[in-house]
Amino acid sequence: VAEFITVQTLNGLVYSMLLFVFALGLSTTFGLLRFVNLAHGSFLLLGAYVGMSTLRATNSYALAALAGAGIAGGIGLVLERLFFRKFYRRIDLDQVILSYGLALVFLDIAKMIWGKDIQSLPTPHWLSGGVEIASVTFPIYRLVLIGLGCALFAATWLTVERTRIGALIRASVDDRDMVGGIGFDVRGLFALVFAAGAMLAGLGGVLAGPITSVYPGLDFEILITTLIVVVIGGLGSISGVFWASLLIGITDTFGRALFPDSASFLIFGLMALVLLVRSWGVPEEEIE
Amino acid sequence: MTLSATTNERHREPVENRIDLILGLVIAAGLGLAPLVGVSDFQLSLLLEVMIFAILAMSLNLILGYAGLVSFGHAAFFALGSYAAGVAANKLSPEIWVSLPIGVAIATLIAIPVGWLSIRLSGFYFLMITFAFAQMIYAVVYRWNSVTGGSDGLLIHGPTLLHESVLQSRQALYFFTLACFCLSFLAIQRIITSPFGRVLVGIRENTRRMRALGFNVRNYKLLAFTLAAAFAGLAGFINAQFTLFIAPESAHWTQSGTVLVMVLIGGTRSMVGSIIGAAIVLLLQHWLSSYTEYWSLALGVLFIGLIMWAREGIYGLAARAVVLLRKRAL
């Protein structure tokens, strides 16, 4: 029993960290730009595929991660310029349909280039061993992922809370018109934040590859869980997203292990519950 | 102008509603004539499917276009109607007077608690919570092997009436569906032109004002949500009789997304628009999937184009064209 709990907790932590890396971008676009981006999963999928191809060509993980993150960030920037910026002021429904359309397009493009089969991204050989924790051997790679996730949390939290650009981001989450009105380049800031979020998603794809494998459909699968994280975490709050990632990551991992039949029931129920508790007693049109 | 003239003016239906009614009847008449003029069996099946999804799209438009509630889980009620009718047919009795009411009733009954909770939110959060409930329903039908057949889907008995098989031939089912389609169209059209429908539009335009005027906004929303689920359940029932097989994918969120797009393509200000939207999406799907396996790419491009350049849908484009033509005529 102790072993079971240790292993599941560690796996849950790994899953949480991957969710966090991926959710950061989604949450900031949602909090800062008020944009619901269902195409965020495409960044992850493209990042994973590009990383995979780079790895096969160069045999270098550093290059793979760089290429995956770079391409995803680049595509994010282009999409922001071409489509998304025109939709910041439109209603949620329009944003959902636009980004859903884009996600369908990218999914099929990925299928055309990389095929429809499940492909594996090997673990880096220098991280392929295991470590013994409480009488359980656990892969080093996964431990490194947990560390990376925590480091990323610290870095983004410091950026948002302690730097000038972070202050601008927080101010824009509160009132973007005011920030623009006093002379800051809000559009540039939005593009930057959007591209950074896409880049992180692409990086997340490369990091997740050795664990989840890479296949068409991975994008929507992770996107849906991440939407739950973002909704529970609240608008554009870094620590909110972090704790929500932990909650969902661990709940889902234990749920799958203990009640394989009703795991998704659990996390969706959790989201509905959080939404309802948060809004109980407030007229629905006043909920932010 | 006298007082009576102004009140008359006010109580008259907007002219668009009459145009919609006429257009709807023309479409229904066309659909009724189709089997008589030698349409092939394949095309008949396609038209059947269009009618089923037109009912589903109209039911979604009732809450989306008129009450302004963007539900991302509407397919769940469609699937509930299918599954409830299918399970009733297999386990209770395949009599149509048993399975039809059960299908519609289960969809409606489950919509009451789901709607009661969901309408406490609006905008994106309403979308997310309906999505969450739909995913929960999907998880149930996907996993409850002993009742729903789980991921394998559910084969169901053909319907009977007084122990005689009915609706077996394509033609019979076609006319049955046509009847359901016409009745649904007339009923929904009646709902949106009634005082109840006008209140819904008021809520969509300004919820706070309607609340201040003393309307119990949530009751209106809940009733609209439940009515929409009932029609979705009816569509689900017919679909089950059509395919005699229910796949859990019918409850999947992508299905909800597709219905949403059907409504948007037609235009949310008109029920005829939803019918046209359902027809366009289904025909496009069939046509494209016979050419290429990458048809969802084309569908994605269609969504993007729609939302970028034709937000009001076909109906909005047509209305704009009419205005232009009138100007030219003057």
For B311, the closest of A94, A100, A104 (CB atoms) is A94
CB pairs under 8 A between A and B: 120
- What pLDDT score does B14 carry? 65
**Tokens linked to A71:** 């391409």
**B54: pLDDT strictly greater than 90:** yes
**B229: pLDDT strictly greater than 90:** yes
Number of H helices, E strands in chain B: 15, 4
Mean pLDDT of B209-214: 88
**B154 strand-pairing partners:** B246
**Tokens linked to B78:** 């469609």
Place of tokens 């495409």: A42
The closest of B61, B278, B306, B60 to A98, measured between CA atoms, is: B306
Please state whether A14 falls in left (phi above 0), alpha (psi between -120 and 50) or beta. Answer: alpha
- Flag if B120 and A96 touch (Cβ within 8 Å): no
A103 and B CB contact within 8 Å: yes
Residues 217-256 of A with CB under 8 A from B: 224, 227-228, 231
B105 and A CB contact within 8 Å: no
**B131: pLDDT strictly greater than 70:** yes
- Flag if A103 and B300 touch (Cβ within 8 Å): yes
Mean pLDDT of B192-216: 88
- What pLDDT score does B105 carry? 93
CB B229 within 8 A of CB B104: no
With DSSP H G I counted as helix, E B as strand and the rest as coil, what are the percentages for chain B, rounded to 5? 80, 5, 15
Closest Cα in chain A, distance from residue B191 (Å): 24
- Flag if B300 and A104 touch (Cβ within 8 Å): yes
- Flag if B303 and A104 touch (Cβ within 8 Å): yes
- What pLDDT score does B259 carry? 92
**B49: pLDDT strictly greater than 60:** yes
- What pLDDT score does A288 carry? 59
Single-letter code of the amino acid located at B32: G
For A97, the closest of B124, B126, B261 (CB atoms) is B261
Nearest residue in chain A measured CA to CA from B123: A92
Maximal C-alpha separation, chain A? 59
Q: Which ipTM was obtained for this model?
A: 0.86
- What pLDDT score does B108 carry? 94
Q: What is the DSSP string of B49-64?
A: HHHHHHHHHHHHHIII
B12 and A CB contact within 8 Å: no
- Flag if B300 and A102 touch (Cβ within 8 Å): yes
**B6: pLDDT strictly greater than 50:** no
- Flag if A105 and B127 touch (Cβ within 8 Å): no
* CA–CA distance, A44 with A63 (Å, rounded to integer): 16
**B5: pLDDT strictly greater than 50:** no
For B122, the closest of A36, A271, A285 (CB atoms) is A285
Which chain B residues are Cβ-neighbours of A261 within 8 angstroms?
Answer: 143
- Flag if A97 and B301 touch (Cβ within 8 Å): no
Mind listing the pLDDT tens digit of every residue in chain A (288 residues)? 778 888 888 888 888 888 888 888 888 888 777 788 888 889 999 999 998 888 888 888 888 888 889 999 999 999 888 888 888 778 888 888 888 899 999 998 888 888 888 888 777 777 777 777 777 777 888 888 888 888 988 998 888 888 888 888 888 878 888 888 888 888 888 888 889 889 999 998 888 888 888 888 888 888 888 888 988 887 767 888 889 999 988 888 888 888 877 778 888 888 889 888 888 877 777 665
The closest of A146, A96, A40, A215 to B256, measured between CA atoms, is: A96
Contacting residues for A76 by C-beta, under 8 A, at least 6 apart: A43, A194, A195, A197, A198, A199, A201
* DSSP structure class, residue B66: I
**Tokens linked to B95:** 């009599």
The closest of A137, A132, A126, A149 to A208, measured between CA atoms, is: A149
- What pLDDT score does B164 carry? 73
* CA–CA distance, A248 with A41 (Å, rounded to integer): 18
Cβ count within 10 A of residue B33: 10
Phi and psi dihedrals of B154, rounded to 5? -130, 120
* CA–CA distance, B306 with B283 (Å, rounded to integer): 17
Res. B11 pLDDT band, cuts 50 70 90: very low
Closest Cα in chain B, distance from residue A100 (Å): 7
- What pLDDT score does A267 carry? 87
Which percentage of chain B shows pLDDT scores above 70? 95
**Tokens linked to A137:** 């051997």
* CA–CA distance, B86 with B287 (Å, rounded to integer): 29
- What pLDDT score does B249 carry? 83
Quick: pLDDT tens for B147-174.
777 777 777 877 777 777 777 777 888 8
Contacting residues for B6 by C-beta, under 8 A, at least 6 apart: none
Which chain A residues are Cβ-neighbours of B311 within 8 angstroms?
Answer: 94
- Flag if A97 and B139 touch (Cβ within 8 Å): no
What is the model's pTM?
Answer: 0.88
Single-letter code of the amino acid located at B3: L
Helix (H) / strand (E) element for B160: namely: strand B160-161
Written in H, E and C, the secondary structure of chain A is: CHHHHHHHHHHHHHHHHHHHHHHHHHHHHHHHHCCCCCCHHHHHHHHHHHHHHHHHHHCCHHHHHHHHHHHHHHHHHHHHHHCHHHHCCCCHHHHHHHHHHHHHHHHHHHHHHHCCCCECCCCCHHHCCEEEECCEEEEHHHHHHHHHHHHHHHHHHHHHHHCHHHHHHHHHHHCHHHHHHCCCCHHHHHHHHHHHHHHHHHHHHHHHHHHHCECCCHHHHHHHHHHHHHHHHCCCCHHHHHHHHHHHHHHHHHHHHHCCCCHHHHHHHHHHHHHHHHHCCCCHHHCC
- Flag if B70 and A112 touch (Cβ within 8 Å): no
Single-letter code of the amino acid located at A162: R
**Tokens linked to A284:** 């629905």
- What pLDDT score does B43 carry? 83
Please state whether B197 falls in left (phi above 0), alpha (psi between -120 and 50) or beta. Answer: alpha
**B84: pLDDT strictly greater than 80:** yes
Nearest residue in chain B measured CA to CA from A283: B120
- Flag if A98 and B308 touch (Cβ within 8 Å): yes
- What pLDDT score does B222 carry? 93
Single-letter code of the amino acid located at A256: R
CB A214 within 8 A of CB A118: yes
A274 and B CB contact within 8 Å: no
- Flag if B136 and A265 touch (Cβ within 8 Å): yes
- With b for 16 or more beta-carbon neighbours within 10 A and e for fewer, the A160-189 pattern comes to beeeeebebbbbbbeebeebeeeeeebeeb
Closest Cα in chain A, distance from residue B136 (Å): 5
- What pLDDT score does B1 carry? 39
A96 and B CB contact within 8 Å: yes
- What pLDDT score does A256 carry? 84
- What pLDDT score does A236 carry? 65
Q: Distance of CA B323 to CAs B13, B17, B317, B330, Å?
A: 20, 17, 10, 11
Which chain A residues are Cβ-neighbours of B301 within 8 angstroms?
Answer: 101, 105
